[in-house]
Amino acid sequence: MEKLRMGVLGCSGHYSLRVATPLKASLLVAPYAVASRDAAKAGQFAKTWGFQAAYGSYEDLLADPKVDFVYIPLPNHLHLEYIKKSADAGKPVLCEKPLCLNAKEAAEAAAYCEKKGIPLMEAFMYRFHPQWVRAAELVRAGELGKVLSTLGVFTYNNKDGANIRNRADCGGGAVLDIGCYMASTSRLLMGGEPQRVAATLVRDPVFKTDILSSAIFDYGEGRVSTFTVSTQMFPTQTVIACGSGGNLSVEVPFNMFGDVPGRLTVTTSVAKRVVESAVADQYLLLFDAFARSLVERVEVPLPASDAVANMAALDAVFAAAASGGWEKVARY
């Protein structure tokens, strides 16, 4: 079958580092067009990564009738605007996480695309890796019994003031950048939505972005998720699920390599074992899954409603850190 022609908004370093090479193996997606506000930059990016077309504005790319869908790796504060503009152009949207700056914006984006009949999906690549597919299967099968708690840590050390993650005006900060993973894995493993949140948060005195935050998600009946995220800490990532019948940990939960097996450690009353998943690139799986849903004209594998619920949990983190007390998670 003919591949879907993808348009990319922005000459993204993330795309260069993590997406461009895996997509060479895709049977469903062809990088076709890239846009930048700097035409020369777009032209060089296109030459480097094999795009046929390069544009000096995002709007010009969206006007190209050959573009079958759009990938948005733009800074967080531009997501809502270009999700809407993509929908206006009739282009399905795969948008980098977080979908928007807050749940209100995410719900607005989801409703806008739904009204226009345009597929919209948040690009949570980890959900497609075989290690996480297997982890979710083990939880659903009840191998851990009832999941009573999850623990997570996701940190890196980046003090570059010019980096987009350290710019408050662009939606930078730890909670939006990596806290979204903590919220997503918590909701996946706990099998529902948190009722309320307590949190602490520290901001950089110069950047004004949040650089260290810890949170408790209360799911009721004493079931909780706890996590810490930071943009100025030694790099660490781990996720652990603890249940009435066993525990599970994911060795490299998020920045998983595409050339080695994933590893889960599962401990039950029977024994402790290491479960290795197939070697796979989660970005290739993400883009192919989205493209397949377009080709088959079925719902995208991660509905926009999930992104809205995830943002609602993050909104509660900010609210709880500000109030110093428990804050309810809004429902949309």
Question: Which structure tokens are listed for 178?
Answer: 């990596």
3-state secondary structure of 78: helix
Cα–chain center distance at 181: 6
Helices (H) and strands (E) in the chain, counts: 11, 15
41 by Cβ neighbours in 10 Å (0-12 / 13-18 / 19+) ranks as middle
Burial (CB count <10 Å: 0-12, 13-18, 19+), residue 63 = exposed
How buried is 113 (Cβ within 10 angstroms: 0-12 exposed, 13-18 middle, 19+ buried)?
Answer: buried
> Residue 46: in which H helix or E strand, if any?
helix 39-49
Distance CA 254, CA 29 (A): 23
Nearest Cα neighbor of 186 from 149, 220, 138 is 149
Question: Rounded to whole angstroms, what are the CA distances from 165 to 41, 74, 157, 302?
Answer: 21, 12, 11, 25
Edge-to-edge order in the sheet of strand 120-122? 53-55, 29-35, 4-9, 69-72, 93-95, 120-122
97 catalytic per annotation: yes
Catalytic residue among 66, 91, 97, 208: 97
Residue 82 CB partners (closer than 8 Å, separation 6+): 9, 58, 70, 72, 74
Amino acid at 65: P
Total residue count of the chain as it appears in this document = 332
Quick check: helix, strand or coil at residue 42?
A: helix
Catalytic residues: 97
